[in-house]
Amino acid sequence: MTRRVIPKTSLDSWINHKIGVDSMTRQTLTGYQLRKLQETIDWAHERSPFYHNRFQGLADERLTCLEDLTRLPFTTAQDIQAKALQMLCVSQSEISRVVTLDSSGTTGEPKRLYFTPADQELTIDFYTQVLSAVISPGDRVFILFPGDRPGSIGDMLDIALKRLEAIPIQHGIVKNLAETVQRLADTRANLLIGIPIQALALTRFYEASGRMPPLVLQRMILTTDYVSSAIVKEIRRIWDCEVFDHYGMTEMGLGGGIECYAHQGYHLREADLYFEIIAPQTGRLLPEGQYGEVVFTTLTRRGMPLIRYRTGDLSRFIPGECLCGTILQRLEYIRSRQTGIIMLDDQYCLTMADLDEQLLTLSGVVDFTAVVSRQSAVVLLKIQIMVLAGTVNESDVRKSLGRISSIRLAEESGRLEVLVESLTCNRDFVPRVGKRTISVV
Ligand SMILES: [Zn+2]
């Protein structure tokens, strides 16, 4: 039997080109990263009042190895909320795009990220490379992100796709499942880029509706939230579509990494971003393989560089080589953020990804909410399941929840009580946008 050859993503050849070598090794890549880190530190120290103060007495010493970066303090979401303008390294007239992110935290202040045209071009260039691994000229690509504003995700994807001679089809966020599916059929889109829970709702709506027009979708790129294996399996079963998971956040300039055909973790955008994994409590750098918080430093951004930015995402570098043979580091899929780990008692914890893996496998389920409240010694977990044109059996839900060891053990200890409610959704159901989290009240 011949073994399937897994192609590398285009990131390898792209990074070769960016660092000026024919075939990079880990050593040539880290040498490039070290030079770029030093350039970024010097640039930020000289030009940004925020970094000038922050690096007082620390920036004079040159980096001799990547680990020397740990001498510098972290940058946090709170820094961006409070001091974004002081972080700028160029005048405001050179900024072409400001992204305002509502804070999900308790502080309330929005975060603002500033990009120059050159910073945006870095993202478009990255998108072009990432897409080129799964897109051919003439492909018709359906985009489920807003694209009306210059510099928005949809707009940058549009530019990248045109560079690849593919045909972008701007649709925007799903607001009506029937309309979106009809347009998918009418436009004969063969690739879709969207949000995981919206893609699941589309596939399940399509299956439940029966007489829908045939689709020609072959591949899907999902991003912005955890892509559970339940979603990947359903999309493959219903539409026979291969799903690729992309990692990114606005702070990274929207693009961070993509998985290859081996589907074993994100291959990182290491020519533009330097990643570290740290212990969330102590800030200590962790070795490969250990779980901690993802921290990154921008290597090529000029408007508002971020140095040692704490993302709040939890993951690890996967040891060993990927089947595609890349030398790029692989980051495990982000199952949770630091704030997304909910303690059911002093021993057992729960994340939205744990619930996704079990509850989204149930037939007809398009989403659910999870709310945790504490009543003296008992924790109450209320799950509301949304089912398209039907209901789920409560015992099936409980059986699925019982497969999550923290729920099972906390229930057995008498410290957790679970309430399950099923909500029937009609054809007007609008799937959610953004990161889904367990609420604590
Ligand atoms: Zn790979």
Provide the pLDDT for residue 204: 94
Higher pLDDT, 106 or 180: 180
Q: What tokens were used for 77?
A: 């979401």
Provide the pLDDT for residue 95: 96
Q: How far is the CA of 253 from the centre of ligand 1 (A)?
A: 22
Q: How far is the CA of 324 from the centre of ligand 1 (A)?
A: 4
Q: How far is the CA of 336 from the centre of ligand 1 (A)?
A: 22
Q: How far is the CA of 360 from the centre of ligand 1 (A)?
A: 27
With cut-offs at 50, 70 and 90, classify the pLDDT of residue 107.
Answer: low
Q: How far is the CA of 244 from the centre of ligand 1 (A)?
A: 12
Mean pLDDT of 339-365: 92
Q: How far is the CA of 330 from the centre of ligand 1 (A)?
A: 8
Provide the pLDDT for residue 434: 80
Q: How far is the CA of 258 from the centre of ligand 1 (A)?
A: 9
CB-CB contact of 91 with 59 (8 Å): no
Q: How far is the CA of 263 from the centre of ligand 1 (A)?
A: 7
Residues 6+ apart with CB under 8 A from 27: none
Q: How far is the CA of 262 from the centre of ligand 1 (A)?
A: 6
Provide the pLDDT for residue 50: 98
Q: How far is the CA of 9 from the centre of ligand 1 (A)?
A: 7
Q: How far is the CA of 321 from the centre of ligand 1 (A)?
A: 8
Q: How far is the CA of 221 from the centre of ligand 1 (A)?
A: 16
Provide the pLDDT for residue 3: 62
Q: How far is the CA of 329 from the centre of ligand 1 (A)?
A: 9
Q: How far is the CA of 218 from the centre of ligand 1 (A)?
A: 20
Q: How far is the CA of 83 from the centre of ligand 1 (A)?
A: 38
Mean pLDDT of 220-225: 94
CA 119 to chain centre: 19
Mean pLDDT of 115-127: 95
Provide the pLDDT for residue 422: 93
Largest distance between two CA atoms of the chain: 69
Q: Does 150 score more than 90 pLDDT? A: no
Q: How far is the CA of 261 from the centre of ligand 1 (A)?
A: 7
Q: How far is the CA of 243 from the centre of ligand 1 (A)?
A: 14
pLDDT (tens digit per residue) in 18-61: 999 999 999 999 999 999 999 999 999 999 999 999 999 887 88
Q: How far is the CA of 326 from the centre of ligand 1 (A)?
A: 6
Percent of the chain residues past pLDDT 70, beyond the cut = 98
In this structure, are strands 97-101 and 111-115 parallel, antiparallel, or unpaired?
Answer: antiparallel
Mean pLDDT of 108-127: 93
Q: How far is the CA of 12 from the centre of ligand 1 (A)?
A: 10
Q: How far is the CA of 6 from the centre of ligand 1 (A)?
A: 7
The pTM score is 0.93
Provide the pLDDT for residue 381: 96
Residues bordering ligand 1, an ion, CB closer than 5 Å: 260, 262, 322, 324
Provide the pLDDT for residue 209: 87
Using DSSP, how many helices (H) and how many strands (E) does the chain show?
A: 12, 20
Residue 229: count of CB within 10 angstroms of its CB: 14
Q: How far is the CA of 270 from the centre of ligand 1 (A)?
A: 14
CB-CB contact of 136 with 163 (8 Å): no
Q: Does 429 score more than 80 pLDDT? A: yes
Provide the pLDDT for residue 437: 92
Provide the pLDDT for residue 367: 96
- Calculate the average pLDDT of the chain: 93
Q: How far is the CA of 325 from the centre of ligand 1 (A)?
A: 6
CA 371/CA 419 separation, integer angstroms: 10
Q: Does 105 score more than 80 pLDDT? A: no
Q: How far is the CA of 278 from the centre of ligand 1 (A)?
A: 24
CA 416/CA 421 separation, integer angstroms: 16
pLDDT (tens digit per residue) in 151-203: 889 999 999 999 999 999 999 999 999 999 999 999 999 999 999 999 999 99
Provide the pLDDT for residue 7: 87
Q: What tokens were used for 434?
A: 């953004």
CA 317/CA 378 separation, integer angstroms: 37
Mean pLDDT of 274-295: 97
Among candidates 422, 419, 391, 390, which has minimal Cα distance to 407? 419
Provide the pLDDT for residue 1: 53
DSSP string, 337-350: EGGG-EESSSS-EE
Mean pLDDT of 67-91: 96
Provide the pLDDT for residue 2: 58
Q: Does 93 score more than 80 pLDDT? A: yes
DSSP string, 178-236: HHHHHHHHHTT--EEEE-HHHHHHHHHHHHHH-SPPP----EEEE-SS---HHHHHHHH
